[in-house]
């Protein structure tokens, strides 16, 4: 079972019951997760991204007995961000990067974002894009952050065939045309289910997009891990579909 959306470090606005690599690893293992793709909460607001990624890599190495695959953060608005990409891949052996465009102050139609996609494609890195971190209605009043609009993304990906992209926390409105448009680009574009809502959501989603685009993601420890686990129980799924969501699709992305 592969969870493509977990975070290490501390969320800036509250302590979470399972924050910290050791506690989270134990929690994940208890639900049958064998591999988790981890970003860092510290990347959301801190500007020393190099330090954040170094700590993330060290934590993933030290804790979890191979549970965590680190996905370093890149902020293309910071000077010399290409060096951060290089370190993620060459120094830490990360399979991909995780972006937080809204918190880092750019839209997906920004030229810097297109440059970042080019670099990721050249380096054959998976790009994870976190659409949002929290329901905008419950955000701290001093730090309100609208979700990232995915509208420019299909055109950018059309011009960068084969670039592997995983959308995180992006399915609250899964019927949005841009979701379907992104899925139509191919199996290398996928979504995880942490923010998917609605009764029987997973079975409806795979009927809409195709199972090959759907990954297991919990957004743990921000969300209760059981939320994503129970979504697979609530929907009526066959064994092949279940295996694709829980493991096969993510493993395919990682191996490509």
Partner 1 sequence: MIWDLHCHLSGVTGDTPHERIAKLMRYADRMGVERLVFFMGFPWSKDPAPDDLRRQNDQVLEALEHWRGRALGFVYLSPKHVEASLAELERCVANGPMVGVKLWVADRCADEQIDPIIRRAAQLKALIYQHTWWKAGGNGEGESTPLDLAKLAARHPQTTLICGHTGGDWERGIRAIRSRANVVIGTGGSDPTAGMMEMAVRELGPRRVLYGSDIGGRSFASQIAKVSGADLSPAKKRLIFGENLRRLLTPILQEKGLPL
**What are the residues whose beta carbons fall under 8 Å from the beta carbon of 175, sequence distance 6 or more?**
208
Residue 43 or 133: the one with the smaller Cβ distance to partner 1 is: 133
User: Which 1-60 positions form the footprint of partner 1 (CB under 8 A)?
Assistant: 14-18
d(CA 209, CA 215): 12
What phi-psi label fits residue 179: left (phi over 0), alpha (psi between -120 and 50 degrees) or beta?
alpha
Answer yes or no: are the C-beta atoms of 9 and 55 closer than 8 Å: yes
Answer yes or no: are the C-beta atoms of 128 and 122 closer than 8 Å: no
Q: Fill in the DSSP letter of residue 200.
A: T
Q: How far is the CB of 100 from partner 1 (least distance, A)?
A: 18
Chosen residue from 230, 240, 251, 256 binding partner 1 by CB under 8 A? 230
Burial of 7 (0-12, 13-18, 19+ CB in 10 A): buried
User: Which 137-156 positions form the footprint of partner 1 (CB under 8 A)?
Assistant: 137-141, 144
Q: How far is the CB of 14 from partner 1 (least distance, A)?
A: 6
Residue 8 or 153: the one with the smaller Cβ distance to partner 1 is: 8
Chosen residue from 195, 205, 211, 217 binding partner 1 by CB under 8 A? 195
Residue 77 or 139: the one with the smaller Cβ distance to partner 1 is: 139
The pair of structure tokens assigned to 162 is 């084969």
Work out whether 197 is an interface residue with partner 1 (CB under 8 A). yes
Chosen residue from 136, 162, 173, 210 binding partner 1 by CB under 8 A? 136
Please give the residue ranges that form the binding site for partner 1 (CB under 8 A).
14-18, 134-141, 144, 195-201, 220-231, 233-234, 236
């Amino acid at each position: 079972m592969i969870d493509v959306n977990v975070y290490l470090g501390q969320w800036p606005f509250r302590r979470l019951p399972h924050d910290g690599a050791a506690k989270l690893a134990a929690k994940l293992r208890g639900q049958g997760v064998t591999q988790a793709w981890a970003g860092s909460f510290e990347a959301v607001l801190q500007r020393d991204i190099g330090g954040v990624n170094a700590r993330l890599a060290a934590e993933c190495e030290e804790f979890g007995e191979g549970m965590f695959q680190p996905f370093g953060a890149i902020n293309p608005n910071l000077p010399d961000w290409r060096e951060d990409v290089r370190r993620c891949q060459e120094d830490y052996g990360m399979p991909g990067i995780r972006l937080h465009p809204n918190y880092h102050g750019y839209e997906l139609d920004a030229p810097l974002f297109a440059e970042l996609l080019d670099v990721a494609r050249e380096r054959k890195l998976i790009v994870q894009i976190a659409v949002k971190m929290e329901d905008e209605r419950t955000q701290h009043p001093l730090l309100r952050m609208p979700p990232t609009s995915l509208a420019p993304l299909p055109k950018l990906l059309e011009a960068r065939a084969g670039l592997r992209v995983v959308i995180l926390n992006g399915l609250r409105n899964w019927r949005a045309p841009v979701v379907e448009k992104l899925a139509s680009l191919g199996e290398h574009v996928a979504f995880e289910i942490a923010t998917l809502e609605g009764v029987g959501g997973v079975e409806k989603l795979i009927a809409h997009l195709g199972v090959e685009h759907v990954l297991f993601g919990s957004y743990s420890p921000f969300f209760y891990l059981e939320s994503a686990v129970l979504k697979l129980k609530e929907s009526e799924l066959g064994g092949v579909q279940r295996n694709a969501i829980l493991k096969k699709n993510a493993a395919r992305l990682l191996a490509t």
